[in-house]
Amino acid sequence: MRSRTTRTFWLFVGPFAVGLLLFTYLPIAWSSYLSFFDARNTVTPTEFVGLGNYVDILTDRAFLDSIGTFTVFAAFIVPTTVVLSLVLALLVNRIRVARAFFRSVFFLPFACSYVVASLVWKMSLFSGVDSGVANTVLGWFGADPQAWVGTVDPPLYWVVLVTARLWLQLGFYMILFIAALQRIPTHLYEAAWIDGASPGWQTFRHITLPGLRGALVAVLTLNLINAYQAFDEFYNILGDSRGYPPFARPPLVYLYYTSLGSGGQDLGRGSAGAVVLALVIALVTLLSGRVLRRPT
């Protein structure tokens, strides 16, 4: 009987488990192994270098800069996303007419790839020519046209990168918040109303916000992890035929060029970088979880 249960279990779980071992556990183990070897242009290295790759990567200005830059990026984009997607959710959840229409409009960018959004942002909305959309709007207010991604000083490329990411991801988090809002029992609002709470800020502060706690933690955590893993829009908006510029470089772009770039594949160093990045993300996620769980 027991062996039959075992067989049935593995009949269901076996195919997935094999894949998970082969394409998640094996790569992590192999990569950790590579990170201690001189693995330039090879996946079966022989020369053990100890912590050499880690020392290299932790003393490389470019890598440290990208971790630092993306910590600042995360510190900006995460709260902005949380607040704006919550505002959209509250707006859409409250209106009575055309609710489905507005929900669709804000959610539609989710269907768009980061590559296509990069194209629209780089070559149309924030194109450096006077007829670009952003420059046209600036012109209405009598302001000078800007080069946007075409110049480093002032670093207006951040406006381009941040607005693209917000446009792409706000709808997704808005849907999460709407789902959570609809889970808050109506009788809580009725009770608050009977107790004389004003329907605006007081109700929001004492009923809505506590009811959203779980969703807030979810959105924050997902968003934080995603911010450190930014790649697509940075690569496509700032990269060109000469490669990637030496600023605003996401950690993943750094790892991409180090381990797979045309200038020699250093898989040992790339693996060490992946390990360090994973640890940074784990640490930041843990810290933010601590802060959130603190009683208010």
Segment 151 to 170, residues that bind other proteins, using CB under 8 A: 167
- State which of positions 32-71 bind other proteins (CB under 8 A): 34, 43
Amino acid at residue number 247 = F
Measured from the CB of residue 219, what is the shortest distance to other proteins in angstroms?
7
Q: Which of residues 268-287 bind other proteins (CB under 8 A)?
A: 270-271, 273-274, 277-278, 281-282
Q: Is residue 25 involved in binding other proteins (CB under 8 A)?
A: yes
Q: Which of 33, 42, 36 is nearest to 57 (CA)?
A: 36
Is 219 in contact with 82 (CB distance < 8 Å)? yes
Applying CB under 8 A, which of residues 52, 109, 211, 245 lies at the interface with other proteins?
Answer: 109
Report which DSSP code applies to 231: -
Taking CB under 8 A as the criterion, the residue among 232, 248, 257, 284 binding other proteins is 232
Return the SS3 of 233: helix
Binding other proteins (rule: CB under 8 A), the pick from 77, 82, 86, 125 is 125
Binds other proteins by CB under 8 A, chosen from 214, 283, 287, 292: 214
Count of residues near other proteins by CB under 8 A: 94
User: Shortest approach of other proteins to residue 1 CB, angstroms?
Assistant: 11
DSSP H helices, the chain, are: 2-20, 26-34, 52-58, 61-94, 99-107, 114-120, 133-140, 157-181, 186-194, 201-203, 209-211, 213-228, 232-238, 251-260, 267-293
Long-range CB contacts for residues 92-101, cutoff 8 Å, separation at least 24 = 92/174, 92/178, 93/178, 93/181, 93/182
The Cβ of residue 115 has, within 10 Å, a number of other Cβ atoms equal to: 11
Tell me if 81 contacts other proteins by CB under 8 A. Answer: no
Assess contact for 238 and 248: CB atoms under 8 A.
yes
Q: Should residue 120 be labelled a site residue for other proteins when binding is judged by CB under 8 A?
A: yes
The least distance separating other proteins from the CB of residue 241, rounded to whole angstroms, comes to: 5
| Cβ burial, residue 262 (10 Å; 0-12/13-18/19+) | exposed
Distance, CA of 213 to CA of 72 (rounded, Å) = 24
Give, as ranges, the residues between 83 and 102 that touch other proteins (CB under 8 A).
Answer: 87-88, 91, 94-95, 102
Tell which one of 82, 156, 160, 215 touches other proteins (CB under 8 A).
215
Within residues 239-258, the interface with other proteins by CB under 8 A covers 239-241, 252, 255-256
Among 62, 75, 83, 133, binds other proteins (CB under 8 A): 133
> Which of 54, 235, 257, 284 forms a contact with other proteins (CB under 8 A)?
235
By the rule CB under 8 A, 207 interacts with other proteins: no
